[in-house]
Amino acid sequence: MSDTARLILEGQEYEFPVLTGAENEKAIDISKLRGTTGYITLDPGFKNTGSTQSGITYLDGENGILRYRGYSIEELAEKASFMEVAYLLIYGDLPNSDQLAYFTDSITHHTLVHENMKRFFDAFPLGAHPMGMLSSMVASLSTFYPESQNPNRDITDIELTIHRLIAKMPTLAAQAYKHNVGLPTMYPKNNLSYVGNFMHMMWGVPAEDYEVDPIIESALNKLFILHADHEQNCSTSTVRVVGSSQANLYSSVSAGVSALWGPLHGGANQAVIEMLEAIRAEGSPLQSWIDRAKDKTDSFRLMGFGHRVYKNFDPRARIIKKAADDVLGQLGINDPVLDIAKQLEEVALHDEYFVKRGLYPNVDFYSGIIYRALGIPTDMFTVMFALGRLPGWIAQWKEMTENREPIGRPRQVYTGATQRDFVALNNRS
Ligand code: ACO
């Protein structure tokens, strides 16, 4: 079989190398295309464009396969802790017990944020969206830790920055929540697990001892693992592109938080619950919502359905659906919104429009329901996603840095006006 691709342009033939990935995925290497032919490729939304060669996450959208560093998402969600998965993503292998102890200990001891950051929170209006606050706060960390700004990227500085960021994100996320609802912030507690400490900072109050509920802790651990990486998605590509200019890790991840916020990406988990609640409140038949989603003159889409790469099923959605059932059962919660979600899924899965386009429930369809059952406020859903996605963003930023990838800078096909002469103001019609 040929390991080159031939392209004929204006009667001339060019050859380009074909690459084969570890799982047999094929790519045509067009990195020399413009230099040799003068042409560029046009691919809005990068639907067919590989931006990098990466050894972190393998995703087969047709067969619903997702693996971090070779380990299946099903096994990791069942058997691993979020700290193990973070280590695996960032350093490439599962940690042994000494490595895990060192990593966890270092993160536990960097959870405090500078007291001056409290003043930033004070300046945000009450009810400010936690994603806006989180993105600003993560970028602000770079001003407190100037060594993170060194573009020469000393390995020790990078390690420290990585540990600080993993440690401080839950603190900032919980502070954003407390500010949003006007409650006093809680300081971290070093005797708790990563997830348990976050729960304490979210739901603890100074007047009482907070007891970590193991059912909620275990569910959050699983949710964080399921969200931990997803190869070159919108927010991760953002982190890599921002980092490719040698911007520091805090700024790069802050940009990732902003990219995640949009309702077509991580913000979909909030949008799903809002949609389900609207369906419930309105009481109109489900079919009318489905009809609206199919109507091209209506901008309404079924939130939580469809995915750029999964055209069969999203393996994370399967695990979360089961976890949602388990957690609601364990906590004795009967959520009518879950019933609406199940009915909607049933209708959509059998409707020709959705079947033909491969529009299945994605990770966000059920994550909102489980977050709700765990007592997470709707505004915080996307923040939960960001906490889970953090190790992936870091791993991808680190890989991009270590591979010395060039600055990300796409080209364009210009469609504006051709050159024209300036017209003086009094001569313009
Ligand atoms: N409801 C109704 N129709 C849809 C939906 C939906 N949720 N999603 C896609 N379609 C339709 C499109 O209108 C289009 O139809 P057409 O071929 O007749 O024009 C077709 O399906 C393909 O959709 P695209 O928008 O071209 O697919 P793309 O890969 O660009 O978008 C996306 C993927 C953004 C996820 C889209 O499916 C969507 O908007 N879903 C709802 C938002 C959502 O749940 N986002 C979370 C994704 S998961 C994540 O980021 C963590």
pLDDT in tens, 257-312: 999 999 999 999 999 999 999 999 998 889 999 999 999 999 999 999 999 999 88
State pLDDT tens for residues 63-116: 999 999 999 999 999 999 999 999 999 999 999 999 999 999 999 999 999 999
Query: Which is catalytic among the residues 129, 230, 307, 314?
Result: 307
Instruction: Answer yes or no: 3 catalytic.
Output: no
Cα(294)–Cα(369) distance, rounded to whole angstroms?
24
Do the beta carbons of residue 376 and residue 367 sit within 8 Å? no
The number of C-alpha atoms within 13 Å of 227 and in the hemisphere containing its C-beta is: 27
- Nearest-10 crossing angle of helices 381-402, 363-373: 130
Report the pLDDT averaged over residues 388-406.
97
Report the pLDDT averaged over residues 155-181.
95
Report the pLDDT averaged over residues 6-33.
97
Helix (H) or strand (E) holding 228: none
Cα(2)–Cα(76) distance, rounded to whole angstroms?
38
State pLDDT tens for residues 411-421: 999 999 999 99
Helices H / strands E in the chain, number of each: 18, 6
Measure the CA angle with vertex 262, ends 305 and 344; round to 5°.
Answer: 20
Task: Point out which residues pair with 358 in neighbouring strands.
Answer: none
Which amino acid type is present at position 246? Q
The residue contributing the CA closest to ligand 1 atom 21 is 357
Name the H helices within 45-154: 73-79, 82-91, 97-108, 117-123, 130-144
Q: How far is the CA of 62 from the centre of ligand 1 (A)?
A: 16
Residue to mutate (ligand 1; options 305, 316, 355, 363; most atoms within 8 A of CB): 305
Q: How far is the CA of 48 from the centre of ligand 1 (A)?
A: 16
So what's the pLDDT on residue 1? 54
Residue to mutate (ligand 1; options 301, 320, 353, 393; most atoms within 8 A of CB): 301
The number of C-alpha atoms within 13 Å of 394 and in the hemisphere containing its C-beta is: 28
The CATH fold of domain 72-228+256-261: Citrate Synthase; domain 1 (1.10.580)
Ligand 1 atom with the smallest distance to the CA of 296 is 13
From the number of C-beta atoms within 10 Å of its C-beta (0-12, 13-18, 19+), residue 200 rates as: buried
90: tokens are: 């960032």
So what's the pLDDT on residue 2? 63
Instruction: Answer yes or no: 307 catalytic.
Output: yes
Lowest-confidence segment of 9-23, 42-56, 339-353 by average pLDDT: 339-353
State pLDDT tens for residues 303-353: 999 999 998 889 999 999 888 888 888 889 888 888 899 899 998 889 999
**What is the phi/psi pair of residue 146, to 5°?**
-60, -25
- Reported pTM: 0.94
Q: How far is the CA of 351 from the centre of ligand 1 (A)?
A: 15
49: tokens are: 């464009």
List the strands of the sheet with 71-72, edge to edge.
Answer: 57-60, 65-68, 71-72
* Residue 162: closest CA among 176, 172, 147: 147
Q: What are the distances in angstroms from CA 375 to CA 184, 213, 261, 277?
A: 18, 12, 20, 16
So what's the pLDDT on residue 315? 93
From the number of C-beta atoms within 10 Å of its C-beta (0-12, 13-18, 19+), residue 202 rates as: buried
Report the pLDDT averaged over residues 191-216.
95
Q: How far is the CA of 380 from the centre of ligand 1 (A)?
A: 23
Largest CA distance in the chain: 79
Which amino acid type is present at position 79? K
Strand, coil or helix: 28:
strand
The residue contributing the CA closest to ligand 1 atom 49 is 265
Report the pLDDT averaged over residues 361-381.
90
Domain ranges across the chain: 4-50, 72-228+256-261
The number of C-alpha atoms within 13 Å of 113 and in the hemisphere containing its C-beta is: 28
Residue to mutate (ligand 1; options 230, 257, 307, 344; most atoms within 8 A of CB): 307
Ligand 1: residues whose CB is within 6 Å?
45, 264-266, 268, 293, 301-308, 357, 359, 362-364
Ligand 1 atom with the smallest distance to the CA of 362 is 48
Structure letter (DSSP) for residue 409 = -
Q: Given this chain, do its domains 4-50 and 72-228+256-261 carry the same CATH topology?
A: no
Residue 125 in this model has a pLDDT that exceeds 60: yes
> In this structure, which CATH number among 1.10.3470, 3.40.50, 1.10.230, 2.20.28 belongs to the domain 4-50?
2.20.28
Q: How far is the CA of 402 from the centre of ligand 1 (A)?
A: 34
Q: How far is the CA of 227 from the centre of ligand 1 (A)?
A: 19
Residue 237 in this model has a pLDDT that exceeds 90: yes
Cα(66)–Cα(50) distance, rounded to whole angstroms?
17
